[in-house]
Amino acid sequence: MDFAQASCTEFVTVLASNAPVPGGGGASALVGAIGTALGNMVGSLTVGKKKYADVEEEIIALKAKCDRLQKELLDQIALDAKGFEPLAKAYGIPKDDPTRDQVLEEATVVACQVPVRIMELCCEALDAIQVFAAKGSRLAVSDAGCGAVCVKAALQAASLNVFINTKTLRNRELAEEMNRKCLGMLDKYCALADEIFETVKAGFFK
């Protein structure tokens, strides 16, 4: 099944089943795309309004960026399933097979790659959403806040799909390198998402 083309009902049904994919990585990618689209919607509701003419060029550029981010995030759903497949097969290799450890190690590294990319895309999306929240239509600012919350969730969820794999890597230098990268993204961009949310929320109580 092409999960990016599946209906919401189909995706959720398979996600809840015992099928190996989609899992946390695919779900993270979808949630990230949804959050990015929410920010992008604020841009769509800003362009063409006289009140926001001074930021229109910047918003149009950001919308184009978010169009790309949405597509790439959706692409990660299938890529995550593809990346997990070798790992699922490797776990099935008999424990007395002399090739098992090496195959498992290589498959684990592959399985980390897509969740890391999902995190990188979520970071880019949060940078864009921050601008939409600050400069976009005030009538839709709540959607920028919603987008930030969704993308933060996707960022955090994707990180867990990295950490569960780096924990088992024999190459601890590589594992720690990936962990540091992911923890750095979490520290910076969870804080940014929280800042966006709190700023948007505070605006409703002035």
Q: Retrieve residue 49's tokens.
A: 């309004």
Q: What is the pLDDT of residue 133?
A: 98
Which residues, including other chains, have CB under 8 Å from residue 68's CB and lie 6 or more apart? Answer: none
pLDDT 10s digits, 142-193: 999 999 999 999 999 999 999 999 999 999 999 999 999 999 999 999 999 9
Q: What is the pLDDT of residue 20?
A: 84
Fill in the amino acid letter for 43: G
User: Measuring CA to CA, how many Å separate 52 from each of 26, 43, 59?
Assistant: 36, 10, 9
For residue 22, say if its preceding peptide bond is cis, omega within 30 degrees of 0.
yes
According to DSSP, residue 52 is labeled G
pLDDT 10s digits, 65-114: 999 999 999 999 999 999 998 998 998 999 999 999 999 999 999 999 99
User: DSSP letters along 117-158, please?
Assistant: HHHHHHHHHHHHHHHHHHHS-GGGHHHHHHHHHHHHHHHHHH
Q: Retrieve residue 15's tokens.
A: 């996600």
Q: What angle do CA 185, 187, 189 make, to 5 degrees?
A: 60
Residue of 197 and 86 predicted with greater confidence: 197
Domain-wise residue ranges, the chain: 21-203
Pick the CATH number of 21-203 from 3.40.630.10, 3.30.565.10, 1.20.120.680, 1.20.200.10: 1.20.120.680
Average pLDDT of every residue of the chain:
96
| Stretch 6-11: mean pLDDT | 92
Which residues, including other chains, have CB under 8 Å from residue 131's CB and lie 6 or more apart? Answer: 58, 59, 62
For the chain, how far is it from start to end, CA to CA, in angstroms?
48
